[in-house]
Every structure is written in C-alpha cells, then in structure tokens.
Amino acid sequence: MARSLIQRRQEAERARVEAYDASLRRMSRPPRPAPNFQNAIEEARRGFEGSVLRDPAAWRPQLKTRDPARLRLAAARHLFARYPAAGHLEQVWTATGSLEPAEIRLRKRWYIVAASGGSLFKEEAGYWLSRKEVHAFLTAPAGLGFDEAFWHAIARSYAANPGIALRIARSKIAQSDRSAVAFWREAVRFFCANPVGIEELNDYCDFLADSYQHNPQLSLKGRTLGSLGRQMCEWHRDLEAIARIEAANRRAARGRGQPLSLQAAGNVAWAGAAVSDWSWTWTAKDGSKREEYLVTQLRTAACLVAETRAMHHCVSTYAAKCIAGHASIWSLRRRATGETTRLLTIELDREYRAIQIRGFANRLATLEERKLLERWAKARNIGLPK
C-alpha cells in the first residue's frame, strides 16, 4: 500500500531523531562513579585491624578524587597516623608495583609504626639498620623511593659527603635483594671509601651481583678499586666470549635448519660426546687422607669460559667445534678437604681420542696426572697419545 507524503515525512523525522540520539550516545561520556570511601577504608585496614587508632566509621573525607590509590592513602592516614610520615613510607599505599605480598606487608608495618609515633628501630628496622641509620631513613631527601631511602641511610653512616650517599642510593645497589644486605652493606662501605661516577658504579654493581650469585661467600675486604676493576674487565671479556659462543650456536642451528631456542645468557649448551663423566677416589692406608679425582665434560658456554679463565688458556675458542660435534672438552679435577682444584683440560675428537692435554698456562701433564688419565682412558675406552 502506498504511503502518503505525511507518513514519509514522519518516518524521516523519526530516523533523524534516532540518528541524533545514537550520535549523542557515542559522544557523551558515561557518568563518573562516586568516590568509594568504604572500599578505601576497608583496603587500608585489612590485615592491620589491631593497629587502628581511629574509628573507621568516623572518617569524613573532604576529597573529590576518585583515584583508589589516593583514597587508600587518605584512609591509611586516618586509621594509623598521629604524625606526618615521609613520602617513601606512604608509597606503599599508592603504588606496590611488582612487590611480593610479604614485602608489601613489611612496608605497611614500617609506615604504621613510624606514623603512629612508635620506635621503628625497636619494632621493625633494627634487624637491618642501626639507630642512626633508622633516623637517616626517616629523614631521607624527598624524591627517593623506599629502597633508595634504605640504602641512602646506610651510605650516610659511611660517607660524610651527602652527594656520595645520594649517588649510591640512586645506583643499582638500591635494586639489590635485602636478604643479601650484609654483602651489599660491605659494597656501600667500599664505594664510600672509593667513590666513582654513577655509570661506573652501576657497572660494578652488575659485576658484583653476578659474582655474588656464583659465590655467596664473596667479600670485598682487602680489595682495591684497581684490583676490582681488573676483575670486572675479565668478567666483561668472559661475557664477550659467551656472546661469541652464543652466536656460533645460532649459526650452527641455522645451518642444520633447526629452530633457535630461547636461552639465557651463558646457558648455551650442546649435546657433547656420548661418554659419561668419571670419578675415582684415592684413600691413604691409614685413612688420614682422601682425594677424589673427576673427569667432567664441559657442555655449556659458561663452563667453557670458566675453564679458560681458571686455566689461562684458550679452550673457549673451541666452542664452535664442540657445537658442531667435531670435538668435546673435558676437565680433570681433584677434590680434597672440600676444595676442588682444576688440573688438566682435555680435547677429544669424534673418535674419542685425546688430541690435546694441557694444564695451567698450557703446561704438559705431570707423571701423576698421566696415570690418572690412563685410569680414565681405560674405564671409558679413550685413546691417549703416546
């Protein structure tokens, strides 16, 4: 049935109104929710009900903000604070980042004790900081985070120059694990006595962190800045050697048409020779002395570079041969009284024949070491040169 002109005009008008309403819905912002004060007070109080100083229901915030973090901080001030607290203590209520739950709880406890007027040294921080350092922590310069203020307080106890303490606080030392505070405190004392620029200090921090990870008994006592710098240079050379080995591994994988696996730096490994490691124990007749001898295959970049560093030769340059399967590298070691000593480095070819045997600084094997190699060769069917 044909529509009249009036009907067509009415339908066009309705379409225009609907299109206008749809445009308004797209362009207009949704109404902002009201500040959730109840949620903020509950989040701040959770887990610390016994430390509350004021009635949560009595909180009458004059706040326009809807930011949950700012509301949570205001709620914490109402619940726990008798006195103003430093900014680095209040940060735990506004931004926790990737902190572990235990660390978040620790920082909240420190805030509650300090803001309520308690003794932070006696109740919380005395395990890590001295009384003087706790005072320096509470009065740290503005702009520092919690960890930076912590290490700034330690540095202030060793450095008369506040600039040195501030430099240490802003270095990578502030990113160190607090469980290793004894070692890093020693590092702070060292760099207060031997100040360096921030970039060089961060380089030393990377070196010390890697060294401490491999040797938790590491100490800086008796070290000089020069000797530490030489060790750091050797560490950089090791990293460069590992990087070259990783590049050789990638080239070999591409040559074989294999997908490249993601491996952490220094963890490049290869299959190696299909021969198991060997050990032999010698014990004196009266039982007064016991020595264990081991021949271990080196199958990773880190192990090969460590052998090069310890034995002062160039075996790390053989990594490409090992990755390609053309050779395998072995280390003869002696273990006695809890200490392990490297004696020889051995290169085997594909036929399991020893083609190179070298000790420290490329010396030849001694008669006693040769007898040990003969035991190993007999046990593992290895060919030794005459």
What confidence tens digit (pLDDT) does each residue in 175-200 have?
A: 998 889 999 999 999 999 999 999 99
Tokens representing 316?
């790390």
Question: 87-94 long-range contacts, Cβ below 8 Å, gap at least 24?
Answer: 87/142, 87/143, 88/140, 88/144, 88/145, 88/146, 88/148, 88/149, 89/114, 89/115, 89/138, 89/146, 91/145, 91/146, 92/146, 93/44, 93/69, 94/69, 94/70
Q: How high is the pLDDT of residue 322?
A: 87
In angstroms, rounded to a whole number, what is the distance separating the alpha carbons of residues 352 and 382?
Answer: 6
In angstroms, rounded to a whole number, what is the distance separating the alpha carbons of residues 313 and 297?
Answer: 17
Q: How high is the pLDDT of residue 193?
A: 94
**pTM for the whole structure:** 0.70
Q: How high is the pLDDT of residue 314?
A: 82
Secondary structure (3-state) at 146: helix
In angstroms, rounded to a whole number, what is the distance separating the alpha carbons of residues 320 and 286?
Answer: 47
Q: Where along the chain do its domains lie?
A: 37-225, 226-386
Question: 196-205 long-range contacts, Cβ below 8 Å, gap at least 24?
Answer: 196/225, 198/167, 198/170, 198/171, 201/167, 201/168, 201/171, 201/172, 201/173, 202/171, 202/172, 203/232, 204/228, 204/232, 205/171, 205/172, 205/173, 205/176
Strands (E) located in the chain: 278-283, 290-298, 327-336, 339-349, 354-358
The CA angle 98-100-103, to the nearest 5 degrees, is 115
For the chain, the maximum distance between any two Cα atoms, rounded to a whole number of angstroms, is 122
In angstroms, rounded to a whole number, what is the distance separating the alpha carbons of residues 252 and 260?
Answer: 10
Tokens representing 277?
């490691």
In angstroms, rounded to a whole number, what is the distance separating the alpha carbons of residues 16 and 91?
Answer: 53
Show the low-confidence residues of the chain (pLDDT under 70).
Answer: 1-2, 28, 30-32, 253, 255-267
Residues 6+ apart with CB under 8 A from 264: none
In angstroms, rounded to a whole number, what is the distance separating the alpha carbons of residues 356 and 364?
Answer: 10
